């Protein structure tokens, strides 16, 4: 029997234990989700732009045979922003320090969604502290070259203007119900009314879960200015790329162009879904992840 993503999220959340660690002079909050029974390995999960750790709990709920670790990235959820510009170089530095602070006995597999695939790519192109990589909806090419490039430019302009306002005014714009609803409606591709309602509810909660307008604008600039393609030639890790055939950020054509540039990658394209594979096709994503990670041990 199929388990709905909302229920999978509840299953994941039930395993969560909160922790804190100092990284780059600030507190990073993260949650561990111990495997039920014998663990098949450790998976670190990184959320995307305007997200927080709990957005990946549906995936965690479907991977009960793995030890999972999910942080709130700096400036998101309840993790403090840093004293540096929130760009890829900063997040890459944070990721390396965070992995070191975990003191894991072996290199973990690392999963990232959307913006986090840029952070992973930047970091692993210069470091050797991660195992297998799983990229959900990778930003394979810059957003300004994606299917909705003009929307990206318009959004950048709105966020830039908002970042110049006092925080209250900035939040009024960026957290406005209509803006979030339109964003969610564009990304959500399912025709299941119950699932759409749940996805919208997730976004109205999570898309407001950031520290301040400066973090939002700096991260958005990074998200549309860089791509996995930029770092692909230096990525040697086994990599699973999971894309949605209807993704508005990076098209299927662009994903297929970039995947061969990675030395050891596998691309899976899921039909009927866009940028929200972790919400709309949770079970399929979990099956792909489990099969991919199992291959490494066979």
Interval 232-256: pLDDT, tens: 999 999 999 999 999 989 999 999 9
Question: Sign of dihedral through CA atoms 280, 284, 290, 292?
Answer: negative
| The pLDDT of residue 297 | 62
Each residue's pLDDT tens digit, 277-289: 999 999 999 999 9
Contact 97, 64 (CB under 8 A): no
- The interaxial angle of helices 193-206 and 5-13, nearest 10 deg, is 40
CA angle 19, 25, 29 (to 5 degrees): 20
Q: To the nearest 10°, the Cα dihedral for 160, 165, 169, 175? A: 20
pLDDT of residue 253: 95
44 φ, ψ (degrees, to nearest 5):
-95, 130
What pLDDT sits at residue 151?
67
Residues of the chain with pLDDT under 70: 1-2, 144-154, 156, 296-298
Q: In what order do the strands lie in the sheet with 42-46?
A: 17-23, 26-33, 67-71, 42-46, 109-113, 133-136, 239-244, 265-270
pLDDT of residue 163: 74
Confidence at residue 5, expressed as pLDDT on a 0 to 100 scale: 93
């Amino acid at each position: 029997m199929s388990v709905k993503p909302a229920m999978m999220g509840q299953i994941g959340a039930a395993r969560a234990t909160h922790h804190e660690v100092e990284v780059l002079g600030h507190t990073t909050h993260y949650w561990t989700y111990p495997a039920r029974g014998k663990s098949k390995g450790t998976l670190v999960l990184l959320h995307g732009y305007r997200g927080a750790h709990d957005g990946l709990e549906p995936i965690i709920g479907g991977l009960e045979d793995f030890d999972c670790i999910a942080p709130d990235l700096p400036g998101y959820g309840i993790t403090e922003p840093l004293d540096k510009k929130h760009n890829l170089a900063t997040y890459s530095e944070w990721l390396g320090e965070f992995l070191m602070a975990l003191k894991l006995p072996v290199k973990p597999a690392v999963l990232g969604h959307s913006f986090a695939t840029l952070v992973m790519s930047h970091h692993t192109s210069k470091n050797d502290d991660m195992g297998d990589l799983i990229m959900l909806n990778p930003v394979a090419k810059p957003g300004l070259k994606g299917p909705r490039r003009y929307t990206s430019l318009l959004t950048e302009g709105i966020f830039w203007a908002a970042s110049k306002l006092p925080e209250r005014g900035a939040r009024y714009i960026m957290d406005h119900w209509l803006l979030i609803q339109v964003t969610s409606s564009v990304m959500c591709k399912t025709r299941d009314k119950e699932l759409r309602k749940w996805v919208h509810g997730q976004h109205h909660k999570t898309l407001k879960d950031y520290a301040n307008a400066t973090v939002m604008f700096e991260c958005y600039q990074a998200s549309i200015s860089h791509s996995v393609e930029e770092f692909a030639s230096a990525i040697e890790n086994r990599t699973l790329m999971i894309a949605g055939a209807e993704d508005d950020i990076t098209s299927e054509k662009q994903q297929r162009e970039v995947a061969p540039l990675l030395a050891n990658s596998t691309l899976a394209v899921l039909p009927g879904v866009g940028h929200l594979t972790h919400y709309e096709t949770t079970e399929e994503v979990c099956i792909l992840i489990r099969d991919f990670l199992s291959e490494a041990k066979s």
